[in-house]
A and B are shown apart, each in its own frame.
Chain A
Amino acid sequence: MTDLSISDELADRIDARVEHTDFESPAEYAEFVLSEVVTRVERDSESGEPSETSREGVEDRLQSLGYLEE
């Protein structure tokens, strides 16, 4: 693990957001936020938005396995 320092002011603001959630600490919250930001930036530099197209045959596969709603 690597330590990062933040201001008391920011820590207090995160504390307020963490209350009533499952985040066990402000550090866990901060890690969630930072991870999401970094992942999004990395993805944007890779391939942009996820593919919206589906190959012909995917619907058949899903139907054959009972995944499609009637």
Chain B
Amino acid sequence: MADDPQNIVMVTADSLRADHCGFIDSASSLTPTIDRLAEEGVSYSEAIAPGPRTPSSVPVLFTGEFMSDDEEWSMADWQGRQSRIGRHMQRFTHVSERLQRRGYETATFTTNPWTTRESNFHHGFDDFNEISADSPDIDSKHLSDSTLFTIADGGLKSLPGDPGGWNSKKEWFSQWTGYFDLIEDRIESLSEPFFLWVFVLDSHQPYITPRAYREESAAWEMYYSILRYWYGETNDAELPNRASELIGQAYRDAVRSVDGFVDALTSAVEPYDPATVFFSDHGEALGEHGNFGHEQTLYEENLRVPLFVHNAGETVTVDEQLPLRSLPELLCDLADTTSFDPEAHTRPFVVSHTENNATKSVRASRWKLVTDGERKRLFDLEVDPKERSDAAASYPEVVASLTDVLDRHDVTQAEKETVGDAVSDLVTGTTNL
């Protein structure tokens, strides 16, 4: 390990599209701070998420391992899904634990309901703070500093029942401006070296953004787009063009807010000279392929994410693919070495899964093969970056080659499950002695 290990700050922005960050798409001007930090450090133009949603991405990037198939859950059973994540997090070592063993004090502020103690995300954190309306760690007033939220929460929670379904709407108001003071206070009390992970929900649907960061949406437009989006989802109705435009505006404002968070956090941690790793856990659809939000699809808008490493002694843009699954090794490299190799964890092939493992993709820089076991589609990302046209019939040799990669991946996963089952039997046997 390095003589003076560097502090590490890791920021995860839920649902932030790569092409909404200027350092990846120069046509975007939404993220001046993120762009500056990326350009000063190591930016990755082809960072790829292991899954299209938080439950299929974050458990994987935290452990470096894909979740297994088992019969104890289904997509219709949220508690089963949560338990499956919990079993996965129980089985594998977390990046937080690896840093903790290296002498880091570890702390987190996490807003997503899939990353809770119930799903065993607390392992390896000296200080675990769940940001939610019913969190045991914080007062719910920190969920948001929005006047509307404060008035609504104060009025509605005093009424019997759950008027207007308020309890199921509170999470819409998870805004970093409400809890940032908690983060600031914690930073000042951390002993060095520290590892701080903040998982912000501000760019997650339904894109409710503090006024200070709303440049395109008036408040009524923002709320209308939310209601129109939920109506469309609930009724399987196609969104009219105007609603789609408003959703896009609201999303861009949400991205601006995330950039505001990064700006504020960067200032707060500057005295501690940390290496900062910033990424999104997955992307977001804004009407491509008929989808909004993040569905169980493996298109570029779902999987390609922004990623940079700032203040690690290197300034470079890496164009080779980096799977988020490699993040534990990348973070340990930051802790262990005085010379960070930006390309050490790039991979020629990157595999991603949907949460139920029913659909998988393997991506090389030019090609992406997507399969649900029966049907295989091939996309030429150079010629067809929007993935409109299936090129499988025209390039059977590419399909065969990428199928071999996926087959090898599946054999590996099966072998790991066999090992996992054997270990379970072994440990249970030891416990019962």
Contacts and interface: CB of A to CB of B under 8 A. Distances in A.
Are A and B a genuine interacting pair, yes or no? yes
Contacts, number: 109
Given A22-B409, A23-B412, A67-B78, A58 B423 contact: no
B288 to A, nearest CB: 17
B36 interface: no
B5 interface: no
A58 B113 contact: yes
Nearest to B169: A64
Given A36-B91, A64-B170, A55 B134 contact: yes
Contact of A57 (B92, B133, B426, B430): B133
Given A40-B91, A50-B120, A67-B55, A61 B171 contact: yes
Nearest to A53: B118
Contact of A60 (B87, B120, B171): B171
Interface string A30-70: 00110111011101100001111111111111111111110
Please name the 6 residue pairs, one residue from A and one from B, whose CB atoms are nearest each other, closest first: A50-B86, A57-B134, A61-B113, A64-B171, A21-B412, A22-B412
Interface residues of A, number: 36
Interface string A10-38: 00000001001111000000001101110
B340 interface: no
A67 to B, nearest CB: 7
Contacts of B167: 57, 60
Given A63-B168, A64-B169, A66-B293, A41 B430 contact: yes
Contacts of A44: 427, 431
Given A22-B412, A39-B93, A54-B82, A61 B420 contact: no
Contact of B113 (A32, A41, A62): A62
B205 interface: yes
Interface residues of B, number: 52
Contacts of A52: 79, 83, 86
Interface string B198-209: 000100110000
B423 A67 contact: no
Nearest to A23: B412
Interface in B367-422: 408-409, 411-412, 415-416, 419-420
Contacts of A39: 91-93
Nearest to A58: B113
B233 interface: yes
B423 A40 contact: yes
Nearest to A21: B412
A49 B168 CA distance: 29
A43 B83 CA distance: 16
B114 A50 contact: no
